[in-house]
Amino acid sequence: MSKLVNPHGSKELKPLLLSGKQKDEEIKKAQGLKKVPMTSRETSDLIMMGIGAFTPLDGFMGRDDWKGVCDDYIMPSKNKLFWPIPITLSADQGLADSVKIGEEVALFDSETQSIMGTMKVTEKYTIDKEHECKKVFATTDKAHPGVQKVMEQAPVNLAGPVKVASESYYPEMFKGIYQRPAEARKMFEERGWSTVAALQLRNPMHNSHAYLAWVAIEVCDGVYIHQLVGKLKEGDIPADVRVKAIDALVNKYFRKERVIQGGYPMEMRYAGPREALLHAVFRQNYGCSHLIVGRDHAGVGDYYGPFDAQKIFLEIPRDAMELKPLPLDWTFYCYECGTMASMKTCPHESKAKIDDNGNYQGGARLLLSGTLLRKLMSEGKPVPKEFSKPEVIEILKQYYDSLEKKVEVKLHGAATGDVVKK
As annotated, the active-site residues are 202-203
Find out whether the peptide bond into 145 is cis, omega within 30 degrees of 0.
no
| Nearest by Cα to 271 from 391, 394, 385, 132 | 132
Cβ atoms within 10 Å, residue 125: 16
**Nearest-angstrom CA–CA distance, 87 and 149:** 13
**β-pair type (331-334, 339-342):** antiparallel
| Nearest by Cα to 17 from 61, 60, 62, 48 | 48
Phi and psi angles of residue 309, each rounded to the nearest 5 degrees, phi first: -70, -25
Contact criterion met (CB below 8 Å) for 247 and 394 = no
| Nearest by Cα to 141 from 275, 278, 300 | 300
**Nearest-angstrom CA–CA distance, 93 and 77:** 26
